[in-house]
């Protein structure tokens, strides 16, 4: 089967060596591997070349959308599989991926696998393992869901699901028919900070139907998660900016996380009025809202979730205050 593996990188020298080592060990000799070096200033390119990867270099950093589109444009095989620069593939990843595509029906245009946290040891790595942000969205969830349904999904958090068709995914373990991506116009290069995976999922389903993206949790890669609270906070700030960017481009209901937004208003009001009762209400609100997701880990996890969601909200607000790009301003060169 003709598959190209694409890895989009930016200053990834420290993690890419291990990723490519596991990839080469799990795949046949001669498998095409594309490494998109998106304006790195470190040794990303030399690490990639050591493992025989074809390196496509951007002179400047162009962001996620550009990097994924560059890989698509340079892919010469029937299928393209994206993994992240900090993901280790399982030993049977390639053989299982080939098997899934051989069994797939003609309506399947994308096959997505699971991203697990690699050997969690620190508290934050175990936190990420408990609250895995890379889990897919079930087919029942979409941007068109009612606000009550979205609120329910938010309060319960993401849960792992069995093999089935899905509505949304993370690009760190996703494969596609190249012709399908070409048919929908490829990746939108305006998505510099993220959300290009949400956009591509929505356009695949719009063009090919609800049952066009298949997920199988047995198709695994292992994400090397950072143990730094600062890196998690920065990542969620970026997620918030990308969420605002997408909704400004595409319309719909803004994706605002309600608990940090409501809590911030109550806390600010309580501080202005010096009202201890309002402050207590805010704390109870946080406790009640995060209990379904944290349960026995509530005391340790609720405060971290609140911080990360607050950073997401801050990123959303920061992006909202910037100039919005035109909905027709889309360059895919």
Please report the DSSP string for 16-68 in residue order.
HHHHHHHHHHHS-TT--EEEEEES-SSSHHHHHHHTTPEEEEESS---HHHHH
| 272 in the same domain as 219 | no
pLDDT confidence bin for 331, thresholds 50/70/90? very low
87: helix, coil or strand?
Answer: strand
The burial class, CB within 10 Å (0-12 / 13-18 / 19+), for 230 is exposed
| 128 in the same domain as 42 | yes
| 256 in the same domain as 205 | no
What value does the mean pLDDT take over residues 146-171? Answer: 80
Q: What is the CATH number of the domain that holds 57?
A: 3.90.550.10
Q: What does the pLDDT read at residue 302?
A: 87
Rounded-to-integer distance, Cα 134 and Cα 284, Å: 29
Other CB atoms within 10 A of residue 85 CB: 24
Taking alpha carbons only, the member of 165, 163, 162 closest to residue 141 is: 165
Q: What does the pLDDT read at residue 328?
A: 42
Taking alpha carbons only, the member of 231, 159, 163, 235 closest to residue 194 is: 235
Rg (CA), the chain: 20
Last residue of a domain, one of 227, 243, 267: 227
| 287 in the same domain as 168 | no
| 279 in the same domain as 203 | no
| 245 in the same domain as 218 | no
| 138 in the same domain as 10 | yes
| 292 in the same domain as 199 | no
Per the CB < 8 A criterion, the answer to whether 24 and 11 are in contact is no
**Total of domains in the chain:** 2
Rounded-to-integer distance, Cα 267 and Cα 280, Å: 9
| 141 in the same domain as 256 | no
pLDDT confidence bin for 51, thresholds 50/70/90? very high
Angle at CA 238, nearest 5°, toward 233 and 242? 150
Q: What does the pLDDT read at residue 318?
A: 87
Helix (H) or strand (E) holding 88: strand 87-89
Q: What does the pLDDT read at residue 332?
A: 40
| Tens-digit pLDDT profile for residues 179-214 | 999 999 999 999 888 889 989 999 999 999 989 999
| 235 in the same domain as 219 | no
Look at strands 3-9 and 79-84 and give their pairing. parallel
Per the CB < 8 A criterion, the answer to whether 80 and 7 are in contact is no
Last residue of a domain, one of 199, 227, 255: 227
Domain that holds residue 305: 229-333
Look at strands 137-138 and 87-89 and give their pairing. unpaired
Q: What does the pLDDT read at residue 253?
A: 63
Helix (H) or strand (E) holding 214: strand 213-223
Alpha helix segments (H runs only) across the chain:
13-26, 44-50, 64-74, 93-103, 123-130, 147-156, 178-183, 196-208, 229-250, 258-273, 276-294, 298-320
| Tens-digit pLDDT profile for residues 89-124 | 999 999 999 999 999 999 999 999 999 999 888 999
Per the CB < 8 A criterion, the answer to whether 258 and 288 are in contact is no
| Tens-digit pLDDT profile for residues 268-307 | 887 887 778 877 877 777 777 888 888 888 888 888 988 8
Rounded-to-integer distance, Cα 214 and Cα 123, Å: 32
Last residue of a domain, one of 182, 200, 227: 227
Cα atoms found within 13 Å of the Cα of residue 259, Cβ hemisphere only: 24
| Tens-digit pLDDT profile for residues 54-94 | 999 999 999 999 999 999 999 999 999 999 999 999 999 99
| 192 in the same domain as 249 | no
| 174 in the same domain as 88 | yes
């Amino acid at each position: 089967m003709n598959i190209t593996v694409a890895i989009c990188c930016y200053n990834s020298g420290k993690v890419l060596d291990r990723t490519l080592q596991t990839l080469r060990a799990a795949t046949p000799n001669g498998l095409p591997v594309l490494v998109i070096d998106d304006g790195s200033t470190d040794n990303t390119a030399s690490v990639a070349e050591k493992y025989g990867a074809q390196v496509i270099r951007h002179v400047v950093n162009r962001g996620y959308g550009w990097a994924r589109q560059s890989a698509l444009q340079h892919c010469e095989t029937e299928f393209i599989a994206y993994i992240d620069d900090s993901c280790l593939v399982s030993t049977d990843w390639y053989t299982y991926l080939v098997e899934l595509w051989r069994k797939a029906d003609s309506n399947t245009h994308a096959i997505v696998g699971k991203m697990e946290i690699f050997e969690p040891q620190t508290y934050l790595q175990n936190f990420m393992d408990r609250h895995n942000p890379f889990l897919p969205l079930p087919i029942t969830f979409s941007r068109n869901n009612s606000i009550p349904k979205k609120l329910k999904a938010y309060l319960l958090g993401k849960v792992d699901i069995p093999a089935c068709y899905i509505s949304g995914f993370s690009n760190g373990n996703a494969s596609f028919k190249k012709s399908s991506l070409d048919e929908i116009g490829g990746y939108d290069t305006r998505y510099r900070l993220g959300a290009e995976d949400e956009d591509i999922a929505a356009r695949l389903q719009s063009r090919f139907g609800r049952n066009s993206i298949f997920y199988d949790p047995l198709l695994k890669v292992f994400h090397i998660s950072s143990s730094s609270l600062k890196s998690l906070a920065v990542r969620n700030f970026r997620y918030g900016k990308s969420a605002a960017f997408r909704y400004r481009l595409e319309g719909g209901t803004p994706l605002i996380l309600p608990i940090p937004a409501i809590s911030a208003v109550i806390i600010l009001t309580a501080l202005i009025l010096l009202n201890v009762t309002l402050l207590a209400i805010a704390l109870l609100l946080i406790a009640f809202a995060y209990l379904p997701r944290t349960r026995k880990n509530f005391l340790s996890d609720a405060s971290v979730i609140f911080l990360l969601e607050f950073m997401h909200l801050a990123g959303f607000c920061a992006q909202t205050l910037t100039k919005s790009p035109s909905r027709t301003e889309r360059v895919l060169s």
